[in-house]
Amino acid sequence: MKFILRILLSALAVIILANILPGITVDSYITAIIVAIVISLLNFLVKPILVILTLPVTIVTFGLFLLFINAIIIMLADYFITGFGVSSIWWALAFSFLLSFLQSILFSILKKDKKK
């Protein structure tokens, strides 16, 4: 149940960001849910491999290269999902940064509700 709620909150964040950022397009609410699921799967499966492969660059840049790894994950999601569009790597970078920020806010609200 918690996983489904987190996916729905992530989909809400995707929809909000698609309406704010001009370089990001999402066709429907179902597509936003699929984007949230695919990004979760890519973060679970692909991101650890990319982090290990780019460890020297990540160390040299003091971890800032991880932002580009997140943008690459967003671009991979764009490649796999037909109703989701990202116009450039810079929009993917902005989207991943803002998505992480929005998710942390939404998930913290979820944790506060469970404590009550």
Q: What is the pLDDT of residues 25-55, one digit of tens each?
A: 999 999 999 999 999 999 999 999 999 999 9
Lowest mean pLDDT among 14-18, 73-77, 111-115: 111-115
Q: How confident is the model at residue 110 (pLDDT cuts 50, 70, 90)?
A: confident
92-97: list long-range contacts, CB under 8 Å, 24+ apart. Answer: 93/67, 93/68, 94/21, 94/23, 95/17, 95/21, 95/23, 95/24, 95/71, 96/67, 96/70, 96/71, 97/67, 97/70
Segments making up each domain of the chain, as ranges: 2-115
102 pLDDT more than 70: yes
Please give the average per-residue pLDDT across 97-109, as a whole number.
Answer: 90
Kindly report the pTM of this predicted structure. 0.88
Percent of the chain clearing pLDDT 70 (strictly above): 97
